[in-house]
Structure 1
Amino acid sequence: MLLIGLEAPELLLYLLTAFLVSFTLHETAHAFVAYLLGDPTAKEQGRLTLNPLAHLSPIGTLLLLTVGLGWGKPVPVDPFRFKRLSPKVGMGLVALAGPVVNFALALLVAVPLHLKLLPYTPMRVGPLLVSWGEFAAWFFWLNMTLAVFNLIPFGPLDGARILAAFLPDWWFFFSARIELYLLGLFFALILIDRFTGTGLLARLIAPIGCQSWWWLVGYTPPFPFCGML
């Protein structure tokens, strides 16, 4: 996940808190569905838990805070331990669970936001001015973009495994063999996008979060970049 242009400390607090909650539930959903399908690998390794520390990658977290590019530990899944489902179909369902949870979290906060039940009036918390409305708004935006980002059918993202479930078996095994190389290529592309200032990834994903806000919440988004799209 890429966090770009964080300047206000309040915004950093909103996004890091939302990221911690959302990413933990996203990864736990992968582990839970794998367990339901008969693979206890994630549970055996302590990943079927809501403890965020179990899902954090030290290097990924450090880079998230320093350069805006971060990731967590991938959930271990052994597709050959699935019962009643083929490895590729089972992996597709496990992969789908993460984005589904993110969409559900976005819908969960969209309701009180739409009904204007969460105040935007800032409250002082130590040196910061924070509001429930602003936090919920960024929570919505992050989960929508996190879901869409993970549905990109490339490399290590969930979308690649979902797509593989509909393709021939040989593609599933081939993609599994080259996934490590695709992972390196994927992060190289993100870093190039981040440090060359092209902002291509942000321009592709941000409009989805903004348009989803209009559809589900129904009033002017509080995100400054939405007016520039």
Structure 2
Amino acid sequence: MDAQLLDHLRWGALSLILLVISIGLHEFGHAWVADLRGDLLPRAQGRVTLNPLAHADMLGTLLLPGIMIFLPILMGHPLPFGLLGWGKPVQISLANPRTRQMDDILITLAGPAMNVVLLVALALVGQVAGVAAAGPGNHDFAKFLATGILMNAGLAAFNLVPLPPLDGSRVFYRLGIYSTEVFHLLSQWSFFILLICINTSYFSEVVWWLMTPFMLLASAIWPVFG
């Protein structure tokens, strides 16, 4: 096995670990805020934990991303830039009718917010450690941090797209932008709608546009992307 392939496999494994952690923190965000808002269900189901494996979906967190990462590498191609993955959805009860709408919005936004918190933390590590992408001896560490920042900016942005089952659609529904009928109709056909959308250049442009403020925030802290 040549050195280049080993290096690609190493970065593939690191990327998968980063994705598992990032998805786990996203789902933890939902569960934690639900717990703060008095929803007992996530804690009862063991979801108020930082353990990423508690939030992992076998297909969406491990198998599909693993195939997307390692299959191209084994076929002689570089690591893919974009990955598709998801975690085990956090179940909530929204038992209080007086605060149900606000609770749902806060719980929903907590997932993408946690990805933003993580990318800020990674940027701070890069800034405090003084690493630069071109710095001798620091290249791998800087690449690891930059990969995590890009990944979490992408996860936050992707989940804010207002298409079920993504978080943005639920916010649109609770704000009244989507009627109940429209939301349920979109949810019914969500798999096919999302499958079509992710294969269009327009969808990619929307995600990049949503990523922009997060990348600007990271660059303001650690100007490695400038």
User: SS at 2:223's partner residue?
Assistant: coil
What is the rounded CA distance, in whole Å, between the counterparts of 1:52 and 1:211 in structure 2? Answer: 24
Deviations 1:41-60 (A, max 9, x none): 11112222222222111122
When residues 74 and 98 of structure 1 are mapped into structure 2, their CA distance, relative to the original with a 3 A threshold, is same
- Give yes or no for the alignment of 1:99 onto 2:100: no
Q: Partner residue of 1:12?
A: 12
Q: Partner residue of 1:82?
A: 96
What is the rounded CA distance, in whole Å, between the counterparts of 2:137 and 2:203 in structure 1? Answer: 31
Pairing of 1:189-200 with structure 2 (within 5 A):
189=196, 193=199, 200=202
What is the rounded CA distance, in whole Å, between the counterparts of 1:42 and 1:112 in structure 2? Answer: 31
Q: Partner residue of 1:21?
A: 21
Q: Select which of 118, 124, 132 maps to 1:111.
A: 124
1:30, distance to aligned residue in structure 2 (A): 0.4
Q: Partner residue of 1:135?
A: 144
What is the rounded CA distance, in whole Å, between the counterparts of 2:19 and 2:64 in structure 1? Answer: 14
Gaps of 5+ in 2: 1-6, 69-82
Pairing of 1:1-229 with structure 2 (within 5 A):
8-60=8-60, 61-67=62-68, 68-79=83-94, 81-82=95-96, 84-85=98-99, 87-114=100-127, 117-118=130-131, 121=136, 131-167=140-176, 171=179, 173-174=180-181, 177-178=184-185, 180-189=187-196, 193=199, 200-206=202-208, 208=211, 211-212=215-216, 213-220=218-225
1:11, distance to aligned residue in structure 2 (A): 3.4
What TM-score, normalized to structure 2? Answer: 0.74
Q: Partner residue of 1:226?
A: none
Residues matched between the structures, number: 200
| 1:156–1:182 Cα contact (<8 Å) kept | no
1:98, distance to aligned residue in structure 2 (A): 0.8
When residues 43 and 116 of structure 1 are mapped into structure 2, their CA distance, relative to the original with a 3 A threshold, is closer
When residues 51 and 190 of structure 1 are mapped into structure 2, their CA distance, relative to the original with a 3 A threshold, is farther
| 2:150–2:215 Cα contact (<8 Å) kept | no
What is the rounded CA distance, in whole Å, between the counterparts of 1:52 and 1:73 in structure 2? Answer: 10
User: SS at 1:131's partner residue?
Assistant: helix
User: SS at 1:70's partner residue?
Assistant: coil
- What amino acid is the match of 1:16? L
When residues 114 and 186 of structure 1 are mapped into structure 2, their CA distance, relative to the original with a 3 A threshold, is farther
1:186, distance to aligned residue in structure 2 (A): 4.1
What TM-score, normalized to structure 1? Answer: 0.73
What is the rounded CA distance, in whole Å, between the counterparts of 2:165 and 2:84 in structure 1? Answer: 15
User: SS at 2:87's partner residue?
Assistant: coil
User: SS at 1:134's partner residue?
Assistant: helix
What is the rounded CA distance, in whole Å, between the counterparts of 1:64 and 1:20 in structure 2? Answer: 9
